[in-house]
Amino acid sequence: MTKQKRVVIDIETAGCDFESLDDISKEFLLKYADTEEKEKEVRESLSFYPVTAQVVAIGMAEADSEKNFVLYQNTQDKAESVKEKDVEFISFSNERELLDGFWKKIADYQQIVTFNGRGFDCPFLMLRSAVNNIKSSKNLMPNRYSSDMHIDLLDRLTFYGSMRRRFNLHMWCKAFSIPSPKEGEVTGYQVKDLFKAGEFLKIARYCLGDVIATKKLFQYWDKYLSFK
């Protein structure tokens, strides 16, 4: 029996400028923002939603090999591929080309692994693809209870919500003595500004850190907590 090819994925997104939205959208988003602090939170949260943000980087790490890829947007330079040790950085000139490249590459894998991919990465990828008139090459959101096609570690480590507290990637990495990508100089909240500043490869490297940490966390789960 041929072994399934498994890949870990993680994405980075950049929200639009709040002022670029139309008045109706602004009014909707600010409906319950009755203080300056809440309005600031709304403005800073635009990167979390596929209707107000775009995908700027996608990390992919093969679960059973040392192959790693980061597909990322570079809107300033010619698209190119750069290899560094065990990772290949592949740039695209816009979001549509980035997503098209992702769907072509993900078609080679039978199982995907994420951390909170059901709550963020996968719906985001599928919806942004639809916005860009791209048909997803596979359903990244199969039934969470009866399918192993998508292993969301946030689901599995909390036993599908049986644990009351849902810890973040940083705390799970700390628990399993995995170097946390959240202790570096870049945070997810900086991605939008880095993208505007043209720091595309910096975003790609940050995305790589997240996907490698998720891969190591998956290896722990697969060894000690997966019962097949």
DSSP-based three-state secondary structure for 6: strand
Q: What is the mean pLDDT of residues 33-56?
A: 97
Domain ranges of the chain: 6-224
Mean pLDDT of the chain: 95
Q: Rounded to whole angstroms, how far apart are CA atoms 128 and 55?
A: 7
Q: Rounded to whole angstroms, how far apart are CA atoms 190 and 55?
A: 14
Query: In Å, how far from its chain's centre is CA 154?
Result: 13
Q: What distances in angstroms separate CA 202 from CA 56, 186, 226, one per listed residue?
A: 11, 8, 34
pLDDT tens-place string over residues 189-220? 899 999 999 999 999 999 999 999 999 999 99
pLDDT at 31 (0 to 100): 96
Of 195, 214, 193, 215, the residue nearest 204 (C-alpha): 195
pLDDT at 80 (0 to 100): 78
Residue 146 pLDDT exceeds 90? no
pLDDT at 2 (0 to 100): 61
DSSP-based three-state secondary structure for 122: helix
More confident residue, 182 or 57: 57
**If you classify domain 6-224 with CATH, what class do you get?**
alpha beta
Q: Rounded to whole angstroms, how far apart are CA atoms 18 and 9?
A: 28
Q: What is the mean pLDDT of residues 107-124?
A: 97
Q: pTM for the full model?
A: 0.95
Residue 58 pLDDT exceeds 80? yes
Residue 131: other Cβ atoms inside 10 A: 14
Percentages of the chain per state (helix, strand, coil), in multiples of 5:
45, 20, 40
